[in-house]
Amino acid sequence: MKNHAPIFIALVTVLTLTNSCKTREDIAREELVNDMNMQMVDSQKLNADYSMRLQNLEDRLSNVTGKVEEGQHETKKNLDNRIKSLEEKINLVENTQTSQTETLAKLEAQVKEQNSYIKDVLSNLKTITKKGGKSSSGSTSPYNKAMADYKKGRYKSAKPQFLTLLNGKTLSSGQKKRVLHNLGMIAYIAKDDSNALNYFTRLFTEFPKTGYNKNGLLMMAKTFIRLKKNEEAKQVLTELVNRFPKAKQVEQAKKMLSSL
């Protein structure tokens, strides 16, 4: 045993040294592994941080995209509404223009027809004058011819004749009073309220004392009532009652005043 002791000690020493060397390598390797593990952990943390920031950016981008899309939709909706409104206005203007064009065409046709009729009447009057002033009714003047047509209810024929006489210089004062009165009556019968008021007002203004105003004022008041201008009608009727208290039209005027 004593002979083997040195050998044993030597083996133990060798093994101890060998184990001691492996332990340093292992320690170095472990330290390297630990460093790598720490770097990996740091890298994972960094990646996680980047991933989170990227996710936040994606969420914000998605939110912004949604708002942009919503804004685009609202803008498109507003534009569509404005376009629709403009189209409706354009259609309204076009329809109005069409209606006005048709109305203007009708008015032009009426004016043309009336002018043609007046020319025929004037031509007939000239022919009558050349033949000695006699007409089919036995009248001796344009005034008598117009009056004959008026008395027979031929207002369409009488009206242009009265207008020609009124614009001429052949009427006497008495004839002009009657022409203004008759034109007012023709306009009233035709429901041409504007001209009816014009002629009756002109009669009263130019000839305030003439007896034709008894009927003229009454018809003027009726025209105002038809236009739903009751206050004006009251004033005219009051003037009739005060100016011509004994006229037969006064009784009717008082009844109309009591109903207004």
Render pLDDT for 157-185 as a digit per residue (tens, 0 to 9): 999 999 999 998 889 999 999 999 999 99
162 to each of 32, 33, 144, 185, 243, how far by Cα in Å? Answer: 129, 128, 10, 12, 28
Cβ atoms 203, 177 nearer than 8 A: yes
Cβ atoms 156, 191 nearer than 8 A: no
Q: Give the pLDDT of residue 20.
A: 52
Question: Amino acid identity of 148?
Answer: A
Q: Give the pLDDT of residue 124.
A: 44
Render pLDDT for 131-157 as a digit per residue (tens, 0 to 9): 434 444 444 689 999 999 999 999 999
* CA–CA separation, 148 and 138 (whole Å): 9
Computed on alpha carbons and rounded to an integer, the radius of gyration of the chain in Å comes to 57
DSSP assignment of 33-79: HHHHHHHHHHHHHHHHHHHHHHHHHHHHHHHHHHHHHHHHHHHHHHH
* CA–CA separation, 251 and 236 (whole Å): 14
SS3 229: coil
DSSP assignment of 109-175: HHHHHHHHHHHHHHHHHHHHHHTTS--TT--SSHHHHHHHHHHTT-HHHHHHHHHHHHHSS---HHH
pLDDT, averaged across the chain:
80
Query: What's the average pLDDT block by block, 10 residues per block, for the chain (260 residues)?
Result: 58 56 69 78 79 84 80 81 84 77 71 55 45 45 93 94 91 94 95 94 94 95 94 94 94 93
Give the count of beta carbons closer than 10 Å to the beta carbon of residue 158: 23
Model pTM?
0.48
Q: Which domains does the chain have, with CATH numbers?
A: 172-259 (1.25.40.10)
Q: Among candidates 221, 160, 222, 212, which has minimal Cα distance to 186? A: 160
- Per-residue DSSP letter, 17: H
Q: Give the pLDDT of residue 65.
A: 80
